[in-house]
Amino acid sequence: MRPPLPPFTEVNAIEKFRLAGDAPNSRDEVAGERGAAATERAKLNVVEDQMAASSIVPEVSEGRTHSTMMAWRVHEFGPPEVMSFERVPRPEPGPGEILVKVEAAGVGPWDGWIRAGRSALPQPLPLTLGSDLSGEIVAMGPGVSGLQVGDQVYGVTNPQFIGAYAEYALASAAMVSLKPTSLTFVEAASVPVISVTAWQALFDHAQLKAGQTAVIHGAAGNVGAYAVQLARRAGVRTIATVAVDDIPLVRGLGADTVIDYRTRRFEEEVRDADAVIDLVGGETQNRSFRVLRRGGKLISAVSRPDQHLAESHGVESAFFLVNVTSPYLAEIARLIDDGKLRTKVGAVLPLADARAAHFMLERVRPLPKGKIVLAVRES
């Protein structure tokens, strides 16, 4: 039985984040990516030339003094080229905050939206990119309880999802928890946003229970992989839609039924599902209303569902924004340490190569399967 968790709030309302946007999951998306392949290859050549010609970034170190650190800054919104690796003052924690000596920082699609200026929340410039992190607490502000200096933690920096691509980062104490002991710092930094998104979609919003059935779109993606595992653990039957190459992976995670979306129409095969967990959006989302029983729920972490379609099918639908807090992270850590959840890191880059990670987000460089993580220090 999972512990009681705080109610969902939209405090971190970054509306256009595609937290699950790891791969195309519709014929339209696949065709669009194929049509853009030649253009992307040309862009890659240009980008590599630009990077080779640019000045060499400073190397990460323990800092020339205890009062400064290296961080990836954005002074103007735009493509990855606007990112600047700079020496900046080391922050001091305020009330309810901790200062983390960052060992690793996760890279997510939302980081790219913030960098490009497409976050719904006002983001004051200049800013330091990054939200997911793991590391060691080195200082605490007033009002922090349940944690102490020296604790190894993982979590999210703040409701604005900024500040983690740095040697040190401030984090809200309410948005971190003790790191899973079975994971390295790099592995732990891959976990927070995507795992909590999966949890909240399944249990807080779809309110799924043992014996019910959920369709999970984008089940091979970062959020989807956690959703399949968490659903299986809760006794929820899962029907996963993926590309054919990902079928073995998703079956291995515990999906009961796997549908290749490129060759089969899921809406012609599935009926009376209790919930759809939409991690894809677009026409896949619109077709999904047909698979639900009356009173079923379509929950999207990607885009707002069409309420007229929902009403016409007699179902509920909602878009939600993840709210990462300590109780969720503590429960996720327990499941990982008990061997009930598996993580997947797709690529590890040094902190100094964060710009290259953003070229991966933009598909200018190959996007790995699994989470991209920046290793700040060798763990």
Within-domain flag for 32 = no
Question: Which DSSP helix (H) or strand (E) runs through 316?
Answer: strand 316-319
Residues 278 and 308 in one domain: yes
Q: Quick check: is 46 in a domain?
A: no
What pLDDT tens digit does each residue of the chain (379 aa) get?
Answer: 344 443 333 333 333 344 444 444 444 344 344 444 444 444 444 444 444 433 334 444 444 457 999 999 999 999 999 999 999 999 999 999 999 999 999 999 999 999 999 987 778 999 999 999 999 999 999 999 999 999 999 999 999 999 999 999 999 999 999 999 999 999 999 999 999 999 999 999 999 999 999 999 999 999 999 999 999 999 999 999 999 999 999 999 999 999 999 999 999 999 999 999 999 999 999 999 999 999 999 999 999 999 999 999 999 999 999 999 999 999 999 999 999 999 999 999 999 999 999 999 999 998 899 999 999 986 4
Same-domain status, 201 and 224: yes
- Domain residues for 353? 55-191+343-375
Question: Is there a single domain that holds both residue 226 and residue 137?
Answer: no
Q: Is residue 173 part of a domain?
A: yes
Q: Which of 30, 62, 10, 78 is nearest to 262 (CA)?
A: 30
221 and 295 housed in the same domain: yes
- Tokens representing 352 are 């100094």
Are 145 and 235 within one domain? no
Pairing of strands 168-172, 257-260: unpaired
Instruction: Output the pTM of the full model.
Output: 0.84
On whether both 77 and 136 belong to a single domain, the answer is: yes
How, if at all, do strands 371-375 and 97-107 pair?
A: antiparallel
Is there a domain that residue 328 lies in? no
Query: Within this chain, do residues 185 and 264 fall inside the same structural domain, yes or no?
Result: no
**Are residues 202 and 309 both part of a single domain?**
yes
Q: Do β-strands 273-278 and 213-217 pair in parallel, antiparallel, or remain unpaired?
A: parallel
Instruction: Specify if 37 maps to a domain.
Output: no
Query: Are residues 63 and 104 part of one domain?
Result: yes
Hey, is 272 helix, strand or coil? Answer: coil
Reference 267, options 294, 228, 241; nearest CA is 241
**Tally of structural domains, the chain:** 2
Type of residue numbered 233: R
- Residues 87, 200, single domain; the answer is no
